Structure 1
């Protein structure tokens, strides 16, 4: 079943299927409409207070501060990485640079999600946050690959490392990255994109801590091989933590049911509504990293239950099940009304 289209000439009015009364729903694109057919009603209903989760307050400032701090760290680590002959510092600088790019992606996506829908992008630009989180995960894994390649080269040809310089610079990096991770901590449970930024900063803090320890050990033992070896160990930890972010981002990009959404509970709720004898063509997907959409057919032989009843269902779907854009179609059950997607032929 395809996502509900909206043509460029739709006026943003919702019509009651039974009474034929039109009213403005407050949007600049058609979010609700009903077509009165001879044998059934299709009601695409939305609550008048329909909206998506707004970005967590202060996230814009958090991104700006994190980007600025990480740019400074990149410069300091790159300079001292060359001066101290430290692969770990240079790798950490490269990783921090990838984080700056990732933060800029996430920041831009967050801004796009605040833009209003248009005639062409009727669902708005929330999908950009999913693409950004996917790019973030890919960027982090790519940075890990670069670090491993450089570390292997240094293991094969160890070079003297200025342990004290490594320790001081890495400690500063650990503090800055830890502070940056803290900036995103409160928003990372609600937004996959912010979670990506949090993981980038947290991973950097761990890397910097490991590099600082290795610098201290090298200072007292002269074990130059420890510097690249520590880089490889930290990369393994980062890859392990990033895999979940990559998996969730890819699933959302493919319109999979968002994590934490229980389809059976939603189906049971709709099926339990007065007058509903069957629920079919139930689809749920992510509009963004914070907003979800739902479409479903409700078979109601007695006909449309009225806007108040449908609005109540939509309200519950939003509050209880986090469905921020719900479209419910009422069928009388005189035909199957099955969408072509559910009955598409299987590839052999």
Structure 2
């Protein structure tokens, strides 16, 4: 028996397209706001002599590139499946998240080296100017974060974009604190020290994003999905004798897919068994795209006979 059950519905595709369109719109606004303020922060950082401001400006420039990648990926994700791309372009968002994580790691190294240099050779910092620009930057980053809020942040692409914005926000906070300390005490090492602290925080977040991207690309079982529990619940469906060749993966970190072979006691009741299995996967595990292959007793007998013939031929 080679027939199989396959469920994902047209509503699933339209919902995914709507999500991607919302992400693309939010990213478009975020790019415009981020790029505009990066120039202001770069000029202010150069004038005030603040590494924290210059670093945050550089961070925002890389963020603009990263957000542009995310924007392109979100647009590609709206394209429907085709004979050449049967799953569509959802994985483009994962690739964008991968590039974003790499950009973040490169930025952390660059800022870290610059901060160490500033600790060895301190330079004058104008605390008042730093505070003013950092306060404006904090407001800008909060606005960008609000634009991205609620756009399916579980998608890896959006997680990468949000990570960059949070890194910017932390950079603005660090610059604000550094400006305040310099303005009150004149102690300039606070500027590179806070820069190193922010580098550490960004490094942890970028590392987690990179780990999750690699898991998706390797088609690992998504976090939070208990494969043994899925196997047990499928095996408990009436008419199912055993479950094997079970796989659960995700295209972009937010939508689960499943394939499995179900040994059934009779092929006559397969339509009812298929519907019950798909309903259980959808309701209990949030898996709306499942491909299930039935194996009846007759099929298993034929498969065993074929295996015996193959073994005899090999020997």
How far has the Cα of 1:101 moved from its partner? 1.4
Q: Go from structure 1 to structure 2 and tell me whether the alpha carbon gap of 1:282 and 1:44 turns closer, same or farther (over 3 Å shift).
A: same
- Kindly indicate whether residue 7 of structure 2 is the aligned counterpart of residue 46 of structure 1: yes
1:103-182 aligned at under 5 Å gives the runs 103-182=67-146
Structure (1/2) with the larger helix percentage: 2
**For 2:197 and 2:61, how far apart are their aligned partners in 1?**
20
Matching residue of 1:227:
191
Q: Distance in 1 between matches of 2:92 and 2:4?
A: 29
Asked if structure 1 preserves the Cα contact closer than 8 Å seen for 2:21 and 2:75, the reply is: no
Partner of 1:28: none
Segments of 5+ residues of structure 2 without an aligned counterpart are: 306-315
Any idea what the Cα deviations from partners look like across 1:143-192, whole Å, max 9, x if unmatched? Answer: 11111111111111111111111111111111111221222232354322
Q: How does 1:266-277 map to 2 (within 5 A)?
A: 266-277=230-241
Pairwise CA distance, 1:324: 3.3
The SS at the match of 1:89 is helix
The answer to whether the 8 Å contact 2:53/2:175 transfers is yes
Distance in 2 of aligned mates of 1:250 and 1:274: 37
Q: TM-score, normalised to structure 2's length?
A: 0.88
TM-score under structure 1 length normalisation: 0.80
Q: Report the count of equivalent residues.
A: 298
Change (3 A) 1:242 1:188: farther
Task: Tell me the equivalent position of 1:34.
Answer: none
State the shift of 1:60 in Å.
2.8
Aligned to 1:243: 207
* Equivalence for 1:297: 261
Moved over 4 A (4+): 47-50
Alpha-carbon offset, residue 241 of structure 1: 2.6
Deviation at 1:46, TM superposition (A): 2.2
Answering whether residue 36 of structure 2 is matched by residue 72 of structure 1, we say: yes
Tell me which of 212, 231, 234 is aligned to 2:176. Answer: 212
Aligned CA RMSD, in angstroms, stands at: 2.1
- Does the CA contact (< 8 Å) of 1:45 and 1:311 recur in 2? no
Q: Say whether residues 1:193 and 2:157 are aligned partners.
A: yes
Q: Which has the higher mean CA deviation after the structures are superposed, 241-250 or 305-314?
A: 305-314
Change (3 A) 1:190 1:305: farther
Deviation at 1:138, TM superposition (A): 1.6
Residues 47 and 314, structure 1, Cα contact 8 Å, conserved in 2: no
Query: Among 218, 221, 224, which residue is 1:257 paired with?
Result: 221
Deviates further, 158-167 or 180-189:
180-189
Secondary structure of the equivalent of 1:91? helix
Q: Is 1:85 matched with 2:46?
A: no
User: Following the alignment from structure 2 to structure 1, what is the Cα–Cα distance between the partners of residues 304 and 185?
Assistant: 77
Cα contact 2:130–2:176 (8 A) shared by 1? yes
Maintained 8 Å contact 1:163/1:215: yes
What residue is the counterpart of 2:285 in the other structure?
321
CA displacement at 1:276 relative to structure 2 = 1.0
